[in-house]
Amino acid sequence: MLRLFEVTGFKNFKEKIQLDFSDIRDYQFNTQCITNNLISKAIIYGKNSIGKTNLGLALFDIVSHLSSNNVTPGLYDYYLNVDSGKKYAEFHYIFSFGSDIVDYLYRKNAKQQLIYEKLYLNDELLFDFDYIEKSGDMQGIRQLAPTLNWSFQGSDCILKYVINNTILEDTDPLNKLMHFVTNMLWFRSLDENRYIGYKSKSDDYFDFIFEPDVLKEFEVFLHKSGIQDNLVVRTDVDGKRRLYFNTPTPLPFFRVASSGTKALYTFFYWYKTTQDVSIMFIDEFDAFYHFELSENIVAILEQMTDTQIVITSHNTNLLTNRIMRPDCYFILTENKITSLTNATDRELREGHNLEKLYKSGEFDE
């Protein structure tokens, strides 16, 4: 699981922003939000344009860095912070895999080219390497992979090169790191299929629903969400199968469905077609949802016990100890991200009305 993430110099993050999943309290309620003493379910709040989307993009930069999974074009345009005096963005990840701690840091320039990389395993340096100076300490990684051909001279990501060209046990922490990264997923709940990670492509986005059991499950899902229309799959005159609302005159789903209904389809697609997701970041997950529907979606996400989930929202109805707990709610401001427990001197308890405290300015800087 991801234990800590830090980013500096990326997009609107001039200064270091830190998201610490290990900073938990001893609350005895909503323990499903905590896994292995780490936050596994979190909601991030923040004003418009403060950087909630960019935080997700920063967190998922490692996907394109170590894997070949999809990154929707355009998401990483204007890579560096324009006000930073540094000519690079720095990304720092600390992962916890059982008793093993993997500490990985790298830097990229404005062209998203790797210029520095450093890796610790259980506090022991495996390597650090400066790609500009073509120098660094490689002793630890050479001992781990003594038979590798190192003549590539740093022209590729060292960590990726080692993992892809070394036979590692399934239990090896570097193998677990790669499995975690290749199973990361970022997507938006808006009416577009923009996503990062997990898959190299999503050609089945429109037709996965054609399976009768899946179609029925989606129909039931919509009914529970307050949309009572039934669905049917029809073959059009061009020979292609498409999804329709099963009305007296069938209506094409993707042409007439509301933005909220399309957002539900996107959510359902990822929920049904992804397995073993390591961390899921849903940007503006409830942009088109009624507050009761947002609560239902959160309840579904909380059942994904093996997945760390981070969602962004403006919906203060979700700010309640009935759904999560104060150490799992975060507020993103211009220069930091803070859990509710750390944003006040008040000792927050289960009986506190978090939404009321939030609106009254209790958690303002």
Unique residue bearing structure tokens 């740093």: 154
Q: Taking the model in full, what pTM does it have?
A: 0.93
In order of 116, 142, 196, 221, 281, the CA distances from 296 in angstroms are 43, 50, 24, 10, 17
* pLDDT tens digits for range 333-356: 988 999 999 999 999 999 999 999
pLDDT for 155 equals: 59
**Integer CA distances (angstroms), 304 to 53, 70, 300, 327, 335, in order:** 22, 23, 7, 19, 31
Domain 2-198+274-359 has CATH 3.50.50.60: no
DSSP, residue by residue, 162-178:
HHHHS---TT-HHHHHH
Long-range contacts of the stretch 124-131 (C-beta < 8 A, 24+) = 127/158, 129/154, 129/158
How do the domains of the chain map onto residue ranges?
2-198+274-359, 199-273
Q: What is the chain's pLDDT, residue by residue, as a tens digit (365 residues)?
A: 999 999 999 999 999 999 999 999 999 999 999 999 999 999 999 988 889 999 999 999 999 989 989 998 889 999 999 998 889 999 999 999 999 999 999 999 999 999 999 999 999 999 999 999 989 999 999 998 888 887 765 557 999 999 988 888 889 999 999 999 999 999 986 656 789 999 888 889 999 999 999 999 999 999 988 889 999 999 999 999 999 999 999 999 999 998 889 889 999 999 998 889 999 999 987 776 777 888 888 999 999 999 999 999 989 999 999 999 999 999 999 889 999 999 999 999 999 999 999 999 999 86
Q: Per residue in 58-88, pLDDT tens? A: 999 999 989 989 998 889 999 999 998 889 9
233 and 243 in contact (C-beta within 8 Å)? Answer: yes
Which residue, 120, 27, 108, 129, is CA-closest to 61?
108
